[in-house]
């Protein structure tokens, strides 16, 4: 029986545009190189497609420098989609832009209307529950509204805390299968994954914690060989995707796509 938390027939991505130079970042290591970012993005899309998924590639949104990070705009579940409410003011409009795209696949889509805020990077959907980390972008009111929206679909939401100084909850963790989470030791130390098997990122490779399980493969950022070895040793089929330019904007594997199977 396919799992709803990592078996998907579809994905949505958005190409990086010239605006990425103005993307939000915690530490300025220089603007991303657009041509290199586009090449990395193409490798990412190809890796999704190679699993058999249908990938809808959207064009760049020049008024939204962070629009390439489509995950923050919506939550896509087996029963329905929810347009989110990003906590970064410059990103709020990205959610509205995603609504008509998701309507093509889901028909009617739900929406977080506020006053709270919630970004997709703070939401980890596992086979048994939805974990949401409060962060600088996601607050208690946003989590409470999401909880009400997804309850009729049978999901329980567990509110957690994203570590201080970390952009999103999933900056520090990823779902690998029904029972297994890849996580930084600093996040796992909070006990939030008790009951799951945790594979810790090796010291110095915390930035590898944002990966995605997508069908039979795990897409992981290139440049973290000990994490890749650890995942391979645990039996995962790892695809290393270059991510240096998205990383300049604190973006990673999960941020770059919405992953879902439209309701039948
Ligand atoms: N640059 C991605 C974000 O800050 O939301």
- Cα-based torsion angle of the residue sequence 249, 58, 50, 32 in order, rounded to the nearest 10 degrees: -20
Mean pLDDT (whole number) for 152-164: 97
Q: Would you say the C-alpha torsion 175, 59, 32, 44 has a positive or negative sign?
A: positive
Burial of residue 115 (CB within 10 Å: 0-12, 13-18, 19+) is exposed
Our CA angle for 170, 72, 81, nearest 5°, is 105
Decide whether any atom of ligand 1 lies within 6 Å of the 71 Cβ: no
Q: What is the CATH number of the domain that holds 62?
A: 3.75.10.10
Question: The domain containing residue 39 runs over which residues?
Answer: 10-260
Catalytic, 190? Answer no
Indicate if the pLDDT at residue 195 is higher than 80: yes
Ligand 1 pocket, residue 177 CB under 6 Å: no
Query: Does some domain include residue 147?
Result: yes
41 included as an active-site residue: no
Would residue 2 count as lying in a domain? no
- Residue 9's Cβ-count burial label (10 Å; 0-12, 13-18, 19+) is middle
Q: Is residue 136 part of a domain?
A: yes
The confidence score (pLDDT) of residue 2 equals 73
Domain count, the chain: 1
pTM, two decimals, is 0.98
Question: Which atom of ligand 1 has the smallest separation from the CA of 137?
Answer: 5
Question: Is 5 inside a domain boundary?
Answer: no
pLDDT in tens, 97-132: 999 999 999 999 999 999 999 999 999 999 999 999
Q: Which of 40, 41, 168, 173 is catalytic?
A: 168
Cβ neighbors of 72 (< 8 A, separation 6 or more) are 66, 84, 86, 91, 94, 119, 120, 121, 137, 168, 255
Question: Could you tell me if the CB of 23 is within 6 A of ligand 1?
Answer: yes
Residues 208-262 pLDDT 10s: 999 999 999 999 999 999 999 999 999 999 999 999 999 999 999 999 999 999 9
Confidence of residue 1 (pLDDT cuts 50, 70, 90): low
Residue 209 lies in a domain: yes
What is the distance in A from the centroid of ligand 1 to the CA of 32? 13
In a domain, 39, yes or no: yes
Q: Where are the beta strands (DSSP E) in the chain?
A: 10-14, 54-58, 74-76, 81-83, 110-111, 123-125, 130-134, 157-161, 173-177, 180-183, 197-200, 212-214, 217-221, 237-241, 258-260
Of all residues in the chain, what percent carry a pLDDT higher than 90? Answer: 98
- Residue 74, Cα to own-chain centre: how many angstroms? 10
Residues 133-154, mean pLDDT to the nearest whole number: 98
């Amino acid at each position: 029986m396919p799992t709803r938390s990592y078996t998907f027939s579809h994905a949505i991505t958005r190409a990086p545009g010239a605006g990425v130079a103005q993307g939000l970042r915690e530490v300025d290591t220089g603007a991303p190189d657009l041509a290199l970012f586009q090449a990395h993005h193409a490798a990412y899309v190809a890796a999704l497609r190679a699993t058999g998924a249908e990938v809808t590639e959207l064009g760049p949104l020049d008024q939204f420098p962070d629009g390439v990070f489509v995950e923050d705009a919506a939550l896509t579940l087996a029963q329905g989609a929810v347009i989110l409410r990003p906590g970064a003011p410059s990103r709020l409009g990205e959610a509205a832009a995603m609504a008509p795209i998701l309507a093509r696949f889901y028909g009617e889509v739900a929406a977080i209307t506020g006053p709270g805020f919630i970004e997709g990077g703070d939401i980890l959907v596992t086979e048994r529950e939805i974990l949401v980390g409060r962060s600088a972008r996601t607050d208690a009111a946003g989590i409470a509204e999401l909880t009400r929206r997804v309850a009729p679909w049978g999901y329980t939401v567990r509110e957690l805390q994203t570590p201080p100084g970390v952009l999103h909850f999933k900056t520090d963790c990823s779902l690998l299968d029904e029972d297994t989470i890849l996580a930084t030791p600093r996040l796992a130390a909070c006990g939030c994954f008790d009951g799951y098997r945790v594979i810790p990122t090796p010291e110095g490779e915390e930035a590898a914690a944002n990966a995605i399980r997508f069908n039979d493969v795990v897409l992981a950022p290139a440049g973290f060989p000990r994490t890749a070895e650890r995942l391979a040793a645990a039996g995962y089929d790892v695809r290393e995707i270059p991510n240096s330019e998205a990383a300049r904007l604190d973006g990673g594997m999960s941020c770059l796509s919405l992953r879902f199977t439209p309701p039948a």
